[in-house]
C-alpha cells in the first residue's frame, strides 16, 4: 500500500463523516480528472454512508457521460452543507455553486494553492492528478471502493498524467494505480476506449490545428480558433483543450497554446502546455493559472490575446537564452 500523509487523510475523512449533507464541485470547463474525481468521490461517500445526501454539481459534458450523471439541486436548500471543491484552487472558477450558502469548505487539489482555504485543506502539488489524491483517500480510509469508482479514478489519473508521460508522474502514481487495480480488478485495457476513441470530426479538427498553428522563432506554438471553425468541424468548445496533449512532441516547440473563441460567454478559452518555461504565472495574468507546465486562462479581448502571445514568446526567448548560458558555463 502506498505511503501517504495519514494525518491530512484522517482529517478529510473525519470532516466527510461529520456532515449529513455534502456538495462536491470542480472547475468550469472540466477535463476527465475533474469530472472523474468529483463523481468517484460522490459515489464512494454514498456507498459508505447511504444515509447522507451527497451531490456532484456543475455543468455536464456529453463527451464524459461514461463517468456518470451529475446532480441538479436547489442550492438555496443546502445552507448547512459541507462544500468539497476538487481540482480547482480559486473560488471564481468553481462550477455549479452559485447561490450556495455552505457551512464549511474543504479543498482537495493538486494545483498550487490560491484563495480557497478552509479548516481542512489538502493541496499536493506532487500528485499527478486529483484522481490520484481521491484514490489515496479511499484506499487509506474506511471509504468504500467498487469497480466503477476505481475505473473513473484510473481514467482520471491516465488522462491528467497523459498516459504517465508528464513529469508529475511519480513512483507513488504507479503504486496508487497498482493498488486500485488490485483492490477492484478493473479491466484497465478496455477503459482506454473511453479516453481515446475519437470521431472523424475531431481527427479532422486536429489536422486543422496542425496546419494552422503558428510557430515563432523562440519556440512558441499558438493558434486562435474562431467560433465558426468550431461549428465548421462539428466539435465543441472543450475539444481544443482535450487535444492539446496530442501536440506534446513537436521538435523546437517549447510552449504551445490553443485560444478558442467562446461567443456565448464573450471570452477566449485558453489552454497552455510547456516543455520548459514556467507558464502558470503568465496564465495568472489572464484570469487563469494551473501547474508550472500545464495551465489555462480566459482572455476577454483581441488586444489581450496579442499581449498574452507576446508574454509567452518572451518566456520562450528567456528560457532559450538561459539554456544557452548554462551550456556555455
Could you report the per-residue pLDDT of 8-33, keeping only the tens digit for each? 999 999 999 999 999 999 998 888 99
DSSP per-residue string spanning 81-105: PEEEEES-SSGGGB-S-TT---SEE
The top-scoring range by mean pLDDT among 64-68, 97-101, 244-248, 254-258 is 254-258
Res 222 pLDDT > 70: yes
- Whether the pLDDT of residue 61 is over 90: the answer is no
Best CA proximity match to 39, nearest among 69, 79, 2: 69
DSSP tag of 273:
E
pLDDT greater than 60 at residue 143: yes
Beta-strand ranges (E) seen in 201-254 are 214-215, 220-225
Are 219 and 276 contacting, i.e. CB atoms less than 8 angstroms apart? no
User: What pTM does this model have?
Assistant: 0.85
Amino acid at each position: 500500500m502506498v505511503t501517504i500523509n495519514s494525518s491530512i487523510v484522517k482529517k478529510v475523512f473525519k470532516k466527510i463523516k461529520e456532515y449529513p449533507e455534502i456538495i462536491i464541485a470542480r472547475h468550469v470547463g472540466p477535463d476527465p480528472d475533474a469530472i472523474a474525481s468529483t463523481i468517484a468521490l460522490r459515489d464512494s461517500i454514498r456507498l459508505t454512508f447511504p444515509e447522507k445526501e451527497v451531490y456532484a454539481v456543475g455543468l455536464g459534458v456529453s463527451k464524459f457521460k461514461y463517468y456518470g450523471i451529475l446532480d441538479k439541486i436547489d442550492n438555496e436548500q443546502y445552507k448547512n452543507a459541507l462544500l468539497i471543491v476538487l481540482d480547482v484552487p480559486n473560488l471564481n472558477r468553481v462550477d455549479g455553486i452559485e447561490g450556495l450558502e455552505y457551512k464549511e469548505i474543504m479543498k482537495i487539489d493538486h494545483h498550487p494553492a490560491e484563495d480557497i482555504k478552509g479548516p481542512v485543506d489538502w493541496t499536493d502539488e506532487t500528485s499527478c492528478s486529483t484522481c490520484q489524491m481521491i484514490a489515496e483517500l479511499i484506499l487509506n480510509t474506511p471509504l468504500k471502493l467498487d469497480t466503477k469508482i476505481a475505473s473513473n479514478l484510473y481514467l482520471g489519473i491516465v488522462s491528467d498524467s497523459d498516459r504517465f508521460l508528464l513529469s508529475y508522474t511519480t513512483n507513488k502514481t504507479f503504486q496508487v494505480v497498482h493498488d486500485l487495480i488490485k483492490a477492484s480488478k478493473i479491466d484497465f485495457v478496455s477503459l482506454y476506449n473511453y479516453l481515446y476513441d475519437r470521431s472523424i470530426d475531431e481527427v479532422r479538427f486536429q489536422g486543422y490545428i496542425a496546419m494552422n498553428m503558428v510557430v515563432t522563432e523562440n519556440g512558441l506554438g499558438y493558434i486562435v480558433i474562431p467560433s465558426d471553425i468550431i461549428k465548421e468541424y462539428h466539435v465543441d468548445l472543450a475539444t481544443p483543450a482535450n487535444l492539446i496533449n496530442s501536440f506534446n512532441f513537436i521538435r523546437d516547440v517549447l510552449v504551445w497554446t490553443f485560444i478558442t473563441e467562446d461567443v456565448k460567454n464573450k471570452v477566449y478559452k485558453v489552454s497552455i502546455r510547456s516543455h520548459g518555461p514556467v507558464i502558470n504565472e503568465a496564465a495568472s495574468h489572464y484570469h487563469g493559472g494551473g501547474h508550472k507546465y500545464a495551465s489555462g486562462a480566459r482572455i476577454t479581448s483581441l488586444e489581450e490575446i496579442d499581449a498574452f502571445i507576446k508574454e509567452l514568446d518572451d518566456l520562450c526567448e528567456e528560457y532559450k537564452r538561459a539554456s544557452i548560458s548554462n551550456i556555455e558555463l
